């Protein structure tokens, strides 16, 4: 259990947050400049908050009022940085074992073997960091943090510096971590697909403040919470690959509801998630006919949130799951939309890019 209460003023930005994170992966989610990395740094002790307290389990790590300050090296917090930060003069093996020298409870050889196997590092052990690809470096960084036997792991946008292929390579390791290792993790991200795949809990941030905290489905299904702004809003559906069609389309099934998307290389039968941007969804009251869009999903309006401008965010519940549609307020009026209204969501296949499917 991690409790963070902190206030810190920079010249052009003020952080003022109060949240708690329990076991599993807690994702700090928000656009750049929302204060995610600042929180990570003050939990790790790399930044001293002007006011507030950080408590990890039964240990008070910092408390301004009682003048308590535990320096970073005594916090037992493993930090996976965006840029890996492996020690260049040491081999992968020595990097992995670096934290072992200092750990109160030392990792045993079995743990080392286990972590090496978990992260697929066997063939890299005698190399130096300069010989590793970005993805390999990040895997070593994760292993290094794990082997320092931390009470908490912080991962600060560990995938942001990697290309799509590398991201796809690393994400499964975090999933295994979540499922196989009991250490809680604070995961900083601005990618909703990472949140949808990893988060047990998501804390959304904007402008240095916590917007909402909860499980990812409820946070993302809430049209009022748009940490990335309306243009970044979208929903994530869990789907299964059903068939590869000869005309280049891949057929997915979202809870039985078929979805056609441009070809994706995932094998038939694999579970993937697909992100649908809110502004790519058209709403209709009647089943449209003779329309080019291939995906027409019946659903029920659950919530409508009017924006400051002419737009509105409409949340739908369907067989495929909950998703968001961004339309104008004029359309809401013209279609007479209200919670409980039946309608159809229309999604063009080509609006879904390969990078929206993981």
Residues binding another protein (CB under 8 A): 44-46, 71-79, 81, 83, 85-89, 98-99, 101-103, 127-131, 144-145, 148
Q: Which residue's CB is nearer to another protein, number 141 or number 237?
A: 141
CA 161: distance to chain centroid? Answer: 15
- How far lies 175's CA from each of 169, 200, 210, in Å? 11, 11, 25
Please state the closest distance from residue 69 (CB atom) to another protein, in A: 14
Q: Which residue's CB is nearer to another protein, number 87 or number 268?
A: 87
Q: Which residue's CB is nearer to another protein, number 153 or number 314?
A: 153
Q: Which residue's CB is nearer to another protein, number 9 or number 74?
A: 74
Q: Which residue's CB is nearer to another protein, number 1 or number 87?
A: 87
Please state the closest distance from residue 190 (CB atom) to another protein, in A: 20
Please state the closest distance from residue 295 (CB atom) to another protein, in A: 46
Rg (CA), the chain: 22
- The span from the CA of 294 to the CA of 282, in Å, is 12
Please state the closest distance from residue 131 (CB atom) to another protein, in A: 5
Please state the closest distance from residue 100 (CB atom) to another protein, in A: 9
Q: Which residue's CB is nearer to another protein, number 142 or number 332?
A: 142
Q: In what order do the strands lie in the sheet with 152-156?
A: 77-80, 152-156, 185-189, 25-29, 201-206, 209-214
H or E, element range at 221: helix 216-221
Find all residues with CB under 8 Å of 119, minimum gap 6, and list them.
Answer: 139, 140, 142, 143, 173
Q: Which residue's CB is nearer to another protein, number 87 or number 300?
A: 87
Please state the closest distance from residue 78 (CB atom) to another protein, in A: 7
H or E, element range at 230: none
Q: ∠227-231-233 over CA atoms, to 5°?
A: 50
262: its two tokens: 């441009």
Query: DSSP secondary structure string, 135-202?
Result: HHHHHHHHHHHHHT--SEEEEESTTTTS-HHHHHHHHHHHHHHHHH----EEEEES-HHHHHHH-SEE
- The span from the CA of 237 to the CA of 224, in Å, is 19
- The span from the CA of 355 to the CA of 168, in Å, is 10
Please state the closest distance from residue 217 (CB atom) to another protein, in A: 32
Please state the closest distance from residue 28 (CB atom) to another protein, in A: 17
Q: Which residue's CB is nearer to another protein, number 128 or number 305?
A: 128
- The span from the CA of 45 to the CA of 58, in Å, is 17
């Amino acid at each position: 259990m991690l409790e963070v209460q902190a206030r810190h003023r920079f010249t052009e930005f003020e952080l003022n947050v109060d949240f708690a994170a329990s076991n599993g992966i807690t994702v700090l989610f928000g656009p750049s400049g929302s204060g995610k990395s600042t929180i990570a740094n003050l939990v790790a002790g790399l930044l001293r908050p002007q006011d507030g307290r950080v408590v990890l389990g039964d240990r008070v790590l910092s408390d301004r009022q009682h003048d308590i300050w535990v320096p970073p090296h005594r916090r037992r917090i493993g930090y996976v940085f965006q840029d890996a930060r492996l020690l260049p003069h040491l081999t992968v093996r020595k990097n992995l074992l670096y934290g072992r020298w200092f750990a109160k409870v030392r990792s045993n050889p079995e743990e080392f073997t286990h972590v090496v196997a978990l992260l697929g590092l066997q063939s890299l052990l005698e190399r130096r960091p300069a010989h590793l690809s970005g993805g390999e470096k990040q895997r070593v960084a994760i292993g290094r943090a794990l082997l320092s036997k931390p009470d908490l792991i912080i991962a600060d946008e560990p995938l942001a510096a990697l290309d799509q292929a590398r991201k796809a390579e690393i994400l499964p390791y975090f999933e295994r971590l979540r499922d196989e290792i009991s250490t809680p993790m604070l995961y900083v991200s601005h990618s909703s697909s990472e949140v949808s795949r990893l988060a047990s809990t998501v804390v959304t941030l904007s402008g240095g403040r916590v917007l909402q905290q909860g499980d990812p489905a409820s946070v993302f299904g809430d049209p009022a919470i748009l940490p990335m702004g309306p243009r970044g809003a979208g929903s994530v559906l869990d789907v299964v690959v059903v068939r590869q069609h000869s005309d280049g389309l891949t057929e997915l099934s979202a809870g039985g509801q078929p979805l056609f998307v441009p070809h994706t290389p995932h094998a038939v039968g694999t579970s993937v998630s697909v992100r649908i941007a809110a502004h790519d969804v058209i709403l209709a009251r009647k089943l449209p006919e003779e329309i080019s869009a291939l995906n027409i999903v019946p659903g029920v309006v659950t919530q409508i949130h009017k924006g400051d401008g002419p737009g509105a965010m409409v949340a739908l519940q369907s067989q495929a799951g909950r998703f968001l549609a961004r339309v104008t307020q004029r359309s809401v009026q013209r279609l007479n939309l209200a919670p409980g209204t039946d309608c159809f969501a229309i999604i063009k296949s080509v609006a879904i890019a390969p990078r929206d499917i993981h």
